[in-house]
Structure 1
Amino acid sequence: MPEMPEVETVRRSLIPLIKGKTIKNVTLWYPNIVASDQSEFVHDLVNKKVIGIDRYAKYLLIRLSDNLTIVSHLRMEGKYHLVDVDTPKDKHDHVQFEFTDHTALRYNDVRKFGRMQLILTGSEKTATAIGRLGVEPNSADFTDQYFISKLKTKKKNIKNTLLDQTIVAGLGNIYVDEVLWQAKIHPLSVSRAIPADKVKELRKNINHTIKWATELHGTTVHTYLDANGNYGGFQDKLKVYGHSGEECPRCNTILEKIKVNGRGTTFCPHCQVIYK
């Protein structure tokens, strides 16, 4: 699943491709991608100009003229690519935004899990699931005290807490495994039992890893590509994710993989302390 660094990379790669273009027509080959009213989505986007692209956590916010925003969540395998409008449709292309310059932005999604929603600009936190998200890594609101106080309210394990997006948003399975290994915290540790000094260390690791992964254009371990069709570069930096059965880079203990709430989770049974 594209996580915050991947979505930010998609945002940056999309801006020079579509900013300033005017939508001529919208085609929904698989209408269920659109979570808001589908007929309004098609009708209301005609003649709208792309004025910018923002992001919150894993959500893309495509800003349009007339105070409209397309909120796009890529979910597991969603991706965008710009083509000439006459380019044959790929079988996994599900939405097309045709522009007046004879190009088209296509949304491709093998699993069809991604979703789009058309809203009034500024209503992101009231009209979409963004309102339920926590703060972003590297934001002014993601402080030590905030993180410590929020974790103290959570009885569930730290892996699930970081994945549920309600305290800190933007992390997925890959980066959670990495930052927990970096902080030497076992993924099954009870969130509220983790000592304050370890929470501070974890926050520092989250900020550093998300920033570093973004600088390297994200992580490609399955199908992730940016809007130009390029792979990420952070997969070469992963220490535990995808390395179960190998030696821990820190202590040489064999890394183990377990399921945590259905998610594959790789960790070091020696380095990572479990707090209960």
Structure 2
Amino acid sequence: MPELPEVETVRKGLVRLIQGKTIEKVTVRWPRIIESPEVTQFQTLLIGQTIEDVQRRGKFLIFKLTDVDMISHLRMEGKYEFYSATDNQTLDKHTHVVFVFTDGTSLHYNDVRKFGRMTLTEKDQSLSYKGIRQLGPEPVPEVFFLTPFQEKLRRSSKAIKPLLLDQKLVTGLGNIYVDEALWEAQIHPETPANVLDEAETECLYQAIIDVLGRAVEAGGTTIRTYANALGEAGKFQLSLNAYGQTGLPCSRCGTPIVKIKVAQRGTHYCPTCQVWRGR
């Protein structure tokens, strides 16, 4: 699943590839991808719209167009592929939305599982969209502050991993990066949030910023099918310390990394460095 670093890398690629292009035609081949408005109106409204910018909030991409915003969520396996005017633009069965530009180039939205969604909102109103409105701050120190983060942790008895996954404390943490941040902070994924002391929560706060920052810089993590809009694979998988490392020695203490289920998610941690503590 593309997480914040992967989506940010896609955003950067899209800006480089399609910023300033004008849409000539839109073809929707799987109607359920379009959340609103209805498909015919979606296709019609986008004709003649110029892509002014592509922004991101959490894992949502926001296409800033002349008169509307288009919100796109990639979900499990959604991806964008760009084609030049001279490329073979043959559609495969997983191509569900095609944007053709006036210069002959095109952008294809591919999604094996068909879970991704797109919606149009009024110009500059995308931050009021229900899925975006509920998000916590971006994981950067300019907007993600330690004290409110610590206060919210103190008020919750929920296990720390699912609490971080729900996107309300801080946005952008998916399964990979929660495992990595908890490993870096030496916190067991099932530890109740309100058990953590001030030093542990500050360490976790710094780990979240550090892990996601490094992952963005590396272009994300390539697990199975992920590649960005430029067709490039991320490199952060070369730096993983916990996620996907089952049975390999912890790079800090040498104990084999174990995998368990937490909140129905495969979870990786070091049983020596990350000791569970109850109430």
TM-score (norm 2): 0.96
Paired with 1:127 and 1:216, the residues of 2 have a C-alpha distance of: 30
Paired with 2:156 and 2:28, the residues of 1 have a C-alpha distance of: 41
Q: Are positions 1:12 and 2:12 aligned together?
A: yes
Deviations 1:89-141 (A, max 9, x none): 02211101111111111001111111111111332232331001111101423
Paired with 1:127 and 1:179, the residues of 2 have a C-alpha distance of: 29
- Give the structure 1 partner of residue 122 of structure 2: 120
Q: Are positions 1:76 and 2:76 aligned together?
A: yes
CA 1:78/1:232 → structure 2, altered by over 3 Å: closer, same or farther?
same
Aligned partner (choices 163, 182, 187) of residue 161 of structure 1: 163
Q: Give the letter aligned to residue 40 of structure 2.
A: S
1:263: how far off? Answer: 0.5
Paired with 2:13 and 2:65, the residues of 1 have a C-alpha distance of: 17
Paired with 1:94 and 1:59, the residues of 2 have a C-alpha distance of: 18
Q: Give the letter aligned to residue 225 of structure 2.
A: T
Paired with 1:73 and 1:167, the residues of 2 have a C-alpha distance of: 20
Deviations 1:52-91 (A, max 9, x none): 011111111010002x111111111111011146611022
Q: Give the letter aligned to residue 230 of structure 2.
A: N
Paired with 2:125 and 2:51, the residues of 1 have a C-alpha distance of: 18
Could you say what secondary structure the match of 2:2 adopts?
Answer: coil
- Give the structure 2 partner of residue 87 of structure 1: 89
Pick which of 263-272 and 146-155 moved more.
Answer: 146-155
User: Within 5 A, what are the aligned runs for 1:186-201?
Assistant: 186-201=188-203
- Give the structure 1 partner of residue 44 of structure 2: 43
Paired with 1:21 and 1:139, the residues of 2 have a C-alpha distance of: 34
1:185: how far off? Answer: 0.2
Paired with 2:33 and 2:133, the residues of 1 have a C-alpha distance of: 20
Q: Give the letter aligned to residue 164 of structure 1.
A: D
Could you say what secondary structure the match of 2:36 adopts?
Answer: coil
Pick which of 77-86 and 170-179 moved more.
Answer: 77-86
Q: Give the letter aligned to residue 252 of structure 2.
A: R
Q: Give the letter aligned to residue 187 of structure 2.
A: I
Pick which of 136-145 and 178-187 moved more.
Answer: 136-145
1:262: how far off? Answer: 1.1
- Give the structure 1 partner of residue 245 of structure 2: 243
Deviations 1:137-192 (A, max 9, x none): 01423111011011122221011011110110001000000010010000000012
- Kept in 1, the 8 Å contact 2:69–2:125? The answer is no
Paired with 1:122 and 1:13, the residues of 2 have a C-alpha distance of: 22
CA 1:174/1:51 → structure 2, altered by over 3 Å: closer, same or farther?
same
CA 1:139/1:113 → structure 2, altered by over 3 Å: closer, same or farther?
farther
User: Within 5 A, what are the aligned runs for 1:203-222?
Assistant: 203-222=205-224
Question: What number of residue pairs does the alignment pair up?
Answer: 275
Paired with 1:250 and 1:7, the residues of 2 have a C-alpha distance of: 29
- Kept in 1, the 8 Å contact 2:135–2:170? The answer is yes
Unaligned runs of 5+ in 1: none
TM-score (norm 1): 0.97
- Give the structure 2 partner of residue 57 of structure 1: 58
Paired with 1:253 and 1:21, the residues of 2 have a C-alpha distance of: 52
Q: Are positions 1:22 and 2:22 aligned together?
A: yes
Paired with 2:155 and 2:80, the residues of 1 have a C-alpha distance of: 38
CA 1:212/1:28 → structure 2, altered by over 3 Å: closer, same or farther?
same
- Give the structure 2 partner of residue 227 of structure 1: 229
Unaligned runs of 5+ in 2: none
Q: Give the letter aligned to residue 149 of structure 2.
A: F
Paired with 2:187 and 2:53, the residues of 1 have a C-alpha distance of: 39
